Chain A
Amino acid sequence: MNPYFFYAFATITVLMVVLMILQKNPITGAMCLIVSFFSLAGLYVLLEAHFIAVLQILVYAGAIMVLFIFVIMFLNLKKEDLKTGRRPFYQFAALIASGALVTFLVVQYTKIPPVSFPESVAGFGTVEAIGSLMFSKYVIAFEVIGLLLLVGIIGAVLLGKKENHD
């Protein structure tokens, strides 16, 4: 793994996520998030997890973010709607909380011992390897997640139907 690629992708990811939070315009924020998803996928590729990388783009950037932008475009926010009143107390609290978090993370980071990653086995990260793991070792978790998604779908359909009848 080339460290330069890692630093490039990591920087882009963090930068874009920070930008997403700082953006006033929701569409710009969503686009920043998409770019960060892409660089995250790049990090997965560096870890030889091609399948996860592709899924990251397919599911998050391709499906979920399209829905997000769809909804944002539907709301059609105007500039006046985006203006929020200044709340000095919240800003102050947020500053302290984030400062504390950053300090905590930096302190913890220095405590991590240097790790050497094991050499990846042949076939690591391929569809076959992930599939066989999912249907043997993690089959219960896999089924439970499937059930959860099914419940979610049924709930969404139910909510949609309710609105139609009114």
Chain B
Amino acid sequence: MDTQLLHFIIVTLKLVIPFAIILTFIPLLVWLERKGSAFIQDRPGPNRAAIMGIRLCGLIHPFADAMKLMFKEDIIPSQVHKFFYVLAPFIALSVASVTFLVIPFAAPMPFGGGVLSFQAANINAGVLYILAMTSMGVFGIMLAGWASNNKFARLGGLRSSAQMISYELSMGLAVISVIMWAGSLALNDIVSLQGANILRWNFIYDPLACLIFITAAFAETNRTPFDLPEGESELVAGYHTEYSSMKFSMFFMAEYANMVIASALIVTLFFGGWQIPFLDTNTFRTNADYYLYYFLVAAAVCCVILGTFLSIKFKKGRFGDKRDYEPLVFGVPAVVAGLAIFCLLVVLGRFPLPLEAANWIVAVCQIFTFLFKVLLMCWVFIWVRWTVPRIRYDQLMDLGWKFMLPLAMLNIVITAVRMLWQ
């Protein structure tokens, strides 16, 4: 009974946590996009919204955005196909989040006599499952375009479907060389094979596939320079022209959810997934106490330095209200916490860890490494969006069919020859 309950809890957590991660990432990415665009365009970006004078560099803005979108009037235009009009945003968001279930977050860990894998479903054909699910996302956009009964929306839907079909091919073909190296379609095998050594990660080992895949992922997620389905200079807002309130916001969230998934997939396939650079899982497990100790020392030092830096910035009368005290609110506790951790470490010294605890520490570290890599990859998406202009529609098609598709096929041949040579 007890093990059954435990099993039930584990399965539930495995299903809930990926969704929770995506939903946490969305506001974070909206913030990152606004701040990132501001950084690239040399302006301060969002910094006004505050709760009790605390602004957190604009991180309060997503709350304000969410509140605003929730309380906006939800308009359903009179001439739309009601059922599909309402269904479309749900399809877009739910399909985007289902994909996350097969991504491995950490190495499988020995737990209670069995093995605990940090992956909701270890499907044998994991890569294919992801490709299938991402191709489902287009239905949300197409239905939105069709049901809106608006020529701009319909054009957006048409463009989106044509674009998806074109770039799906190069995406699938780029993955094939990775599958050939790994000899498996299961994502955990692909990550395990890449190992802790960065030089063996697929983005160095197979750079052409990586480039093609990233480019195709940009097109699949409708991000600039391939955001023609919502090109505002030609199509007002593309497929979501007629949407308002939370329905619009669901499309907006789906875009970022797709970005997170594309990044997670790129990281898993090409950037070593949960592998911590130059730190093997087994080495880490046996020496967990050593690494934990020095990690805590480094964290304490960072806390003290950052806290001092923040506290120095405090100047009374800069704004003339509660916002003046924001650096102190974060700076002083950081210094105190850093010093406390440091004293604790000095008093306790290095203490041995039980095996279970070591395993958990390794798993948590790997999860955070993975999420950090995903965040970095998302930053690449944002970076490209604010750097590269949108390309023309015929250029998009030419690039997809006449350049990337042959290149992806060539890459398969190159991989085959390299495998024969070894």
Contacts and interface: CB of A to CB of B under 8 A. Distances in A.
Nearest to A76: B154
Given A66-B161, A74-B158, A51 B132 contact: no
Interface residues on B, range: 20 to 34
B136 A73 contact: no
B168 interface: yes
B162 A70 contact: yes
Contact of A57 (B132, B165, B168): B132
A73 B154 contact: yes
A126 B133 CA distance: 19
Interface in A43-76: 50-51, 54-55, 57-58, 61-63, 66-67, 69-70, 73-74, 76
Contacts of A63: 135, 165, 168
Given A73-B157, A73-B158, A62 B125 contact: no
B185 interface: yes
A19 to B, nearest CB: 13
A57 B98 CA distance: 14
B365 interface: no
A10 interface: no
A128 to B, nearest CB: 8
Interface string A101-128: 0000000000000000000000001110
Given A31-B84, A55-B128, A58-B132, A70 B185 contact: no
Contacts of A55: 128, 132
A28 B85 CA distance: 12
Contacts of B185: 127
Contacts of B81: 27
Contacts of A74: 158
Interface in A10-63: 27-28, 31, 34, 50-51, 54-55, 57-58, 61-63
B299 interface: no
Interface string B143-169: 101100000001001100110110010
A62 B135 contact: yes
A54 B146 contact: no
B297 interface: no
Interface in A62-98: 62-63, 66-67, 69-70, 73-74, 76
Query: Mostly helix, strand, loop or mixed at chain A's interface?
Result: helix
B136 A27 contact: no
B142 A67 contact: no
A69 to B, nearest CB: 6
B131 interface: yes
Nearest to A72: B146
B41 interface: no
B329 interface: no
A74 B158 CA distance: 8
B135 A50 contact: no
Interface residues of A, number: 23
B125 A51 contact: yes
A70 B161 contact: yes
A31 B184 CA distance: 33
Contacts of A27: 81, 84, 143, 146
A126 B162 contact: no
Contacts of B143: 27, 31
A127 B125 contact: yes
Contacts of A57: 132-133, 136
B135 A58 contact: yes
B142 A69 contact: yes
A54 B123 contact: yes
B139 A34 contact: yes
Interface in B86-145: 123-125, 128-129, 131-133, 135-136, 138-139, 142-143, 145
B158 A50 contact: no
B153 to A, nearest CB: 11
Nearest to B126: A54
Contact of A50 (B125, B136, B145, B165): B125
B174 to A, nearest CB: 16
Contacts of B138: 66
21 contacts: A27-B146, A31-B139, A50-B124, A54-B125, A54-B129, A54-B132, A55-B132, A57-B136, A61-B135, A61-B136, A62-B131, A63-B168, A66-B138, A66-B142, A67-B165, A69-B146, A70-B165, A73-B145, A73-B146, A73-B157, A127-B125
Given A66-B139, A70-B161, 10 more contacts: A27-B143, A31-B84, A31-B143, A54-B125, A57-B132, A62-B168, A63-B165, A70-B162, A73-B142, A73-B154
Interface of B: 81, 84, 123-125, 128-129, 131-133, 135-136, 138-139, 142-143, 145-146, 154, 157-158, 161-162, 164-165, 168, 184-185
